[in-house]
Structure formats: C-alpha cells, structure tokens
Amino acid sequence: MWGGTQLAKQTAQYGSWKSPITSDLIVQGTISFEQVLVDGLDIYWIESRPAEGGRSVVMRQNASGQVEELTPQPFNARDRVHEYGGGAVAIRDGIVYFSNFADNHLYVRDRDGNIHALTQDSKMRYADGQIDVARGRWIGVREDHTKSDIFAENTIVAVNTDGSGETVLVSGNDFYAFPRISPDGTQLAFITWHHPNMPWDETELWTGKFAADGTLTDLTKVAGVKNESILQPKWAPNGQLYYISDESNWWNIKRITDGKLETVVAMDAEFTSPNWAFGQSDYDFIDASTIICDYTQNGKWYLAQIDTQSGALKPVASEYTSFSSIRTDGERVVFLAGSPTSFRVVVTTNVDGSNPTVLRKSSEVQVDPDYLSIPESIEFPTENGKTAHGIYYRPKNPDFTAPEGEKPPLLVHVHGGPTSAASSVLSLSTQYWTSRGVAVLDVNYGGSTGYGREYRDRLKGQWGIVDVDDAANGAKYLGEQGEVDANRLAIAGGSAGGYTTLAALTFRDVFNAGASHFGLSELEVFAQETHKFESRYMDSLLGPYPEAKDVYFNRSPINFTNQLSCPIAFFQGLDDKIVPPNQAELMVEALRKKNLPVAYLAFEGEGHGFRRAENIKRALDGEFYFYSRVFGFTPADDIEPIHIENMDAEPGK
C-alpha cells in the first residue's frame, strides 16, 4: 500500500495530478469473475485473465482449502451463445463440463484431470447446462450456426456424457434459457421467448416431463403474460417451482403452488438484472423454507434471506454493496461481491452472513483509500418533468489541489446494454480519472435497470432521445451546481453506450469532446448485419425495420455529421461481430473530411469489448491523452501519444 500522504498539497491543474493509479496497475494481475458454482464441499468459479488474452479458467477450492486451476492452456472456458455467452460451465460430482471458446466444442474434465471433447461440430455452440445424472446427459442451450449466423437455430438439447451423441429436447421457438432439472429428475423447467422481444421484454415459463426414453412430454406453459419478463426459474428442494417476474413493475420472486401463481415477497426492488448473459443466479435455497438472495433498491444492492412461508425478508449484514452469482449448499453461501472500496471478490459466508471469507480477489493491488473517490447517488431533472439517476465521483487526490477558482473537467460515462446499469463497485478505471482531477458521472439514464420496469421502458421507441437527454442533462446539472467546468464536458461509452455518446455529440450541443468504444453510428447497418440475439432488439428501441426506416436514418449519427463540431476518439476491435469495425470507420472518415480532430485506434484480435491487458491499457491511456490535448492540461505521466488527425487544423476548413 502506498505510504503517507504529503503534508503540503501541490497546486496543479485538474487533469495534471500525478496518480499512483496507473494503467499498468489496472491491468497488473487484474481478473474478472463470471460464474460461481457449488458441488458438494467444493467451490468453483470462472475467472477471466486479461494477461492471458482474456482466457477464462475454471478454478476450484476443495474441502481442505486448496485452490487449483482445472482448465489449463489452451482451453478457454467461455461460450459464444447469443455472442455474449455466459453459463459456460456445469459441474457434478467433481466432473467439469465446459464450452471451449476456440472451437465451440463441449468438453468434459474427469476427476483425474483428463479432458476430452463431447461434441465435434464447431458450428454448434453450448451454454447454460445442467447434468441429468439419472440419464447421463448434459442438458442445456444449443445454438446451431450450420445454416446461418443471423438465423441460427436455438434449442434445448441433451448431450450424452459418454460422447455418443446428442438429442434435441425442445425446439421451435426463437430463444431458450435457464433449462433447470427438478430435484427428482422427472421434470424440466425453462424460459423461452420470441422475436422481437428481448428477455427483459416478454418471456414465458414452460415445464415438461421426462419420458422413459429421455424425451420431453407434456410441454406446458405455466407462467407468462404479455409484457411480463420471467427469469431464473429454480426448483426448491421440495420440488416447488420458483421464478422471478416483473409483472408488478419490479422483478420480484414468485412461485407456483397447486397451479396458482404467488408472489413470495412484494417489494419496490429488483431481485435480478437483465439477462444479457447466461448463468445468472440471484437467489438460491438454503432449504425449502429459506431463500438467500440479492436485490437492488435506489441504486444499491443488498443481501437478504426470505422466509418462503411468511414472505418476510430479513437483511443479511455485509460490508459489500454489490452481489451476484448467489449459490448455497445449505450451510454456506458463496457469491461474487464488491463495494466502493473493495474490488470484486469471490466470498463465502455462513448462511446468516457471518464469518465472511474471501476466496479470490479480482485484484491483489493494495490501494490507499485516500486516493479513492467515493461514489454518490444523485438524481437530476430531465425532459418532460421526469427525474433521472446517476453515480457521481468527485476528483480526489490527497497530494494535489487545483488552482483557486478552477472547476474540473467532467467525463460522463454511458453504460452499455442499454438496459444495464452503472455499478458502484470499486473500479480502478474510474479512479484513474478522478485521481488525476477529472470528475466522472456514471449516468443511469431512462432505460437502465434497477428502478423498475416503468423506468426501463422509458427507452421504448426513444433510444437516441431519452438516453441522450439524460446524459446531457446530467452533465448540465453538475455544471449548474458548480461541481464541474461547463466548458470542459466529455462523454464516453462502449457498445450501446458508444451509440449514445455519438448521438449526444451529434444531436446535442452540450459536450466538448467524446470517445466511442466500439459504438454504433449507423443504425440501419446494425439492424441488417448484427447477430440473431439482437437482430430485432431495435424493434422496441426504435421501431421495426424497414417500416421505421426514417427513424433509423434520423437517429444515426453518421447521417448528420454536418452537426458535429467537437473532437472524437474511436476505439475498436477488428474482430467485433456485434458492432463491426466499419461502424467506427465510417464516422472517422466523416470527421476527417470536416477537418475535425479525430483519433482511431483499432485492435487486432479483439471483439466486442477488450480483453487483452495491453489493449485495455492502450485504450485507457489513449483516451486520457486525447482529452488532455482537447482540454489543454498536461498529463503528469509519460503517456504514449495517440495520433490525433486535424488536431491543429481549424474545424470545418
């Protein structure tokens, strides 16, 4: 940990402060977690390692506390289903089943450590599996790309664990998720939905019974009405089926009792988040009468127990403020967690939350808390008399102060999704900015999760308007409050956040600079070229294509570059299948023709989001360097410059 703070602060411009939170520190030994599983006395998790090119590894802590890596190089326990993957690993009795990213095959690792493939066709992808012990099968979601990528066929299949073949159990719908086997092995529950819905729009809960030959019979829809999102079905130990539904406006836990649908506990809170990736687990059963769960309310996450008989919710004390991947064996609870002052960790506790033990940290970096900006939840007025939300970070560095009267530049960060939400968990990438003297606003614009379905539905038909207005109004609000320099406002985001960034820079005259990380600029191209999972997403965000062709045109920044008047930097993976590189390259070329300052960094081997340490570092430093040139401050670090075209040219000439 860094030692004593200097007694006398140095005076330096905002943005010019020397910080120990460097890009090298951020990528040094940093990992991320994707899934937690419990098998007997053993605990498993999947960690993604930027230092190994983003390789995902299955880890295990056994009953004696020994931690070991189970999937060595070159295996990468990650799948491509829906392109976002998730749920790549299933475990039963010490045997590990996992999807391998390089060839899409489903593999098995036996108890002796031997690994072999169960499938052979690389155009088949597998995710979200469970083990059907009685019949010797892996049952999960398969995505068949043998005919087409955008028209891939999604089914629920059973893969024989001896490698002798596989059988389709359920087919005919556009999408499936959460296939879950009942405790007695006689039934299967699953979620399904159809285009143009996304899983947070409208899904259905179905069950089926296993016949003697292992096929599914008596397929029955048991829950799901129009505009109801159902997620995470789970069987209680007594065989009762539970699930999460937003029929009440909030994602609350429900169950089926004698054919009747019951709400277990009704709260103005969300007990899950959007199902972008497989493998979610926001609740589990300690026993038939007790649930351990997480939920979010007013931007903060909590851990709690629920008495399934009375519906009483009892908070579980924890030092953490973010939770996911909840699992329990009835005596211990294991989950992923984090807080504003601690990195994301794998934690195990007693079922009452006592005796917390960290099994694995996402970073071993020791950060002096004096350098950490603590997030503040803020609300601010936006269009149509409504209120929007955000998480605000003030500049913080114990060694520096700004010249009297100077206000800091502001970076508005726009999350992806767009139904995602900003997290308050410690992020050195955010602290990188604040410790150098740049304020940060993580905006939870209308459409974000955590504030109920009504708030989430604000974006329906309004993408490129509501999100842009909320981002702009958040920046203006902080400027009006005297928190930041209203003449040095930047906006940045990745994926859908990159689109909001480009739309804000094109259609609003609020920001002075911006950075798009693999962001959309041409919505019509995206509607025609993207993968199956998102191929109809914009029906709800913008309208069906081509019927709403004019809307797509009018909200595409690339069509209105004449309205651009400020510098923009672009960061793009050349292997991105979700937002292809031409989305950035079209915009860069338009800025070149206008003689506006523009920077373009393209990364070989990167897809939708950067996983390699060297590229994460280059993008972060590159964006900071870009703003330093635009806003006129001098970085304290020796940052490798990026090439900024037209930086000294007069815009428009």
CA–centroid distance for 278 within its chain: 11
Spatial separation of the C-alpha atoms in residues 89 and 78, rounded to whole Å: 8
Q: What is the mean pLDDT of residues 562-580?
A: 91
Supply the pLDDT for residue 321: 92
Helical residues (DSSP H) of 481-598, grouped into ranges: 496-507, 523-529, 537-541, 549-554, 582-593
Question: Looking at the predicted structure, is the pLDDT value of residue 6 above 60?
Answer: no
DSSP summary character for residue 552: H
Spatial separation of the C-alpha atoms in residues 76 and 197, rounded to whole Å: 31
* Contact in structure between 345 and 361 (CB atoms under 8 Å): yes
* Contact in structure between 126 and 141 (CB atoms under 8 Å): yes
Angle among Cα 555, 557, 559 to the nearest 5 degrees reads: 90
Spatial separation of the C-alpha atoms in residues 334 and 37, rounded to whole Å: 8
At 630, the pLDDT band (50, 70, 90 cuts) reads very high
Which CATH number among 3.40.50.970, 3.40.50.300, 3.40.50.12780, 3.40.50.1820 corresponds to the domain 13-18+367-631? 3.40.50.1820
DSSP summary character for residue 599: E
For the stretch 588-624, pLDDT in tens is 998 999 999 999 999 999 988 887 889 999 999 999 9
Supply the pLDDT for residue 2: 40
CA–centroid distance for 495 within its chain: 11
Across 215-238, b (16+ Cβ under 10 Å) vs e yields ebeeeeebbbeeebbbbbbbbbee
For the stretch 90-115, pLDDT in tens is 999 999 999 999 999 999 999 999 99
Q: Kindly give, in sequence order, each residue whose CB lies less than 8 Å from that of residue 8, ignoring residues fewer than 6 positions away.
A: none
Mapping DSSP to helix (H, G, I), strand (E, B) and coil, where does residue 370 land? helix
- The neighbour count for residue 524, using CB atoms within 10 Å, is 16
Amino acid at 487: N
For the stretch 113-158, pLDDT in tens is 999 999 999 999 999 999 999 999 999 999 999 998 778 999 999 9
Spatial separation of the C-alpha atoms in residues 394 and 431, rounded to whole Å: 10
For the stretch 454-507, pLDDT in tens is 999 999 999 999 999 999 999 999 999 999 999 999 999 998 999 999 999 999
Supply the pLDDT for residue 610: 85
Spatial separation of the C-alpha atoms in residues 288 and 293, rounded to whole Å: 14
* Among candidate residues 18, 83, 15, 31, the one with its CA nearest the CA of residue 616: 31
Supply the pLDDT for residue 1: 37
Residue ranges of domains in the chain: 13-18+367-631, 281-364
For the stretch 323-334, pLDDT in tens is 999 999 999 999
* Among candidate residues 557, 535, 573, 447, the one with its CA nearest the CA of residue 491: 557
Write the burial class of residue 307 (CB in 10 Å: 0-12 exposed, 13-18 middle, 19+ buried): middle
* Contact in structure between 205 and 227 (CB atoms under 8 Å): no
- Provide the pairing of β-strand 568-573 with 513-517: parallel
For the stretch 342-356, pLDDT in tens is 999 999 999 999 999
Spatial separation of the C-alpha atoms in residues 361 and 425, rounded to whole Å: 13
Kindly write down the DSSP assignment for every residue of 149-181, as one continuous string.
STTPEEEEEEEETTSS-EEEEE-SSSEEEEEEE
Name the β-bridge partners of 439: 410
* Among candidate residues 382, 380, 369, 284, the one with its CA nearest the CA of residue 335: 284
Question: Looking at the predicted structure, is the pLDDT value of residue 653 above 50?
Answer: no
Q: What is the mean pLDDT of residues 271-278?
A: 95
Supply the pLDDT for residue 53: 83
For the stretch 195-238, pLDDT in tens is 999 999 999 999 999 999 999 999 999 999 999 999 999 999 99
Backbone angles phi, psi at 622, to 5 degrees: -65, -40
* Contact in structure between 208 and 219 (CB atoms under 8 Å): yes
Supply the pLDDT for residue 7: 59
Supply the pLDDT for residue 613: 86
Supply the pLDDT for residue 171: 98
* Among candidate residues 571, 610, 603, the one with its CA nearest the CA of residue 587: 571
For the stretch 429-447, pLDDT in tens is 999 999 999 999 999 999 9
Supply the pLDDT for residue 54: 85
Supply the pLDDT for residue 652: 42
For the stretch 52-95, pLDDT in tens is 888 999 999 999 999 999 999 999 999 999 999 999 999 999 99
Q: Which of 270-274, 307-311, 541-545, 609-613 has the lowest mean pLDDT?
A: 609-613
Spatial separation of the C-alpha atoms in residues 323 and 539, rounded to whole Å: 32
Spatial separation of the C-alpha atoms in residues 147 and 636, rounded to whole Å: 54
pTM of this structure: 0.90
Question: Looking at the predicted structure, is the pLDDT value of residue 3 above 50?
Answer: no
- Please state, rounded to an integer, the average pLDDT across all residues of the chain: 94
Supply the pLDDT for residue 352: 92
* Contact in structure between 415 and 424 (CB atoms under 8 Å): no
* Among candidate residues 287, 264, 348, 336, the one with its CA nearest the CA of residue 61: 348
* Among candidate residues 472, 485, 633, 503, the one with its CA nearest the CA of residue 568: 503
* Among candidate residues 155, 175, 156, 170, the one with its CA nearest the CA of residue 84: 175
Q: Kindly give, in sequence order, each residue whose CB lies less than 8 Å from that of residue 471, ignoring residues fewer than 6 positions away.
A: 412, 414, 443, 445, 491, 500, 504
Q: What is the mean pLDDT of residues 497-518?
A: 97
Supply the pLDDT for residue 649: 54
* Among candidate residues 497, 522, 507, the one with its CA nearest the CA of residue 581: 522
In whole angstroms, how far apart are CA 212 and each of 166, 179, 207? Answer: 16, 19, 17
Spatial separation of the C-alpha atoms in residues 317 and 311, rounded to whole Å: 19
* Contact in structure between 321 and 300 (CB atoms under 8 Å): yes
Name the β-bridge partners of 255: 242, 262
